Structure 1
Amino acid sequence: MNVTRFDSAPEYFPENHFLMRCVRLQGHEAGESDALWLGVSTIRPGGYTSFSASAVEKHYVVLSGELTVETDAGTEVLRANDSCRLAPGEARALRNLSSTAVTVLLAMPLS
């Protein structure tokens, strides 16, 4: 078993993520994993990612707050316990347009 306490989860710094704090809960530097890694991003008001895609699918679960997700197909607002899946190669931008922080769980396959 690998336990990662949130208060000591390793921080990471993805490119094109602004006004955000990203930590890994499992996988990569947070511990061994065979298939996927988990992270949590806290996005401050006005925080965002650039509109870009990755080669692997992504799953987001909003833990608290309100997250705006923009894709070529349109824009959706996700609230606590809402989730979305982005296909490999599907471009997205994440935005916190609210006045409070949003916390998002991210699950991605290991690449």
Structure 2
Amino acid sequence: MNITRFAQAPAYFPANHEGMHCLRLQGHEAGPAASLWLGVSVLLPGGHTALDASAVEKHYVVLEGEVCIRTTEQTALLGQFDSVRLAPGESRQVSNPGNRAAMLLLAMPFPPG
């Protein structure tokens, strides 16, 4: 068993993330994991990512607030406990269009190999 207390979750700093505070809950520097890692991002009002893709799928769950997810084909505003799956190679932009901070859970597999 590997427990990561939220208060001790290590921060990480992904490229192209503005106005966001990202914490690792499991995997990477938060402890051992075989197939996926978990993170939480706090998005300040106006916080966002670039419209980028990754080689692996991503799953997001909104824990607090509202988060806008934009792909090249669709835009959706997600509220508390709404979730979205993004396919490998699918470009996405995550943003907080509101005036209150939002919190987003991320589950993402490790890259192949």
Taking structure 1 as the reference length, the TM-score comes to 0.99
Show the counterpart of 2:26.
26
3-state secondary structure, aligned to 1:104 = strand
- Deviation string, structure 1 residues 18-66 (Cα, Å, up to 9, x no partner): 0000000000000000110000000000100000100000000000000
Show the counterpart of 2:90.
90
Show the counterpart of 1:5.
5
Percent identity of paired positions between Structure 1 and Structure 2: 58
3-state secondary structure, aligned to 1:7 = helix
Which whole-Å CA distance do the structure 1 matches of 2:84 and 2:96 have between them?
16
3-state secondary structure, aligned to 1:19 = strand
Task: Give the strand-richer structure, 1 or 2.
Answer: 1
3-state secondary structure, aligned to 2:7 = helix
**Aligned pairs (5 A) from 1:1-111:** 1-111=1-111
1:67 maps to amino acid:
V
2:45 maps to amino acid:
P
* CA shift for structure 1 position 89: 0.2
Provide the aligned C-alpha RMSD in A.
0.5
Gaps of at least 5 residues in structure 2 are none
Taking structure 2 as the reference length, the TM-score comes to 0.97
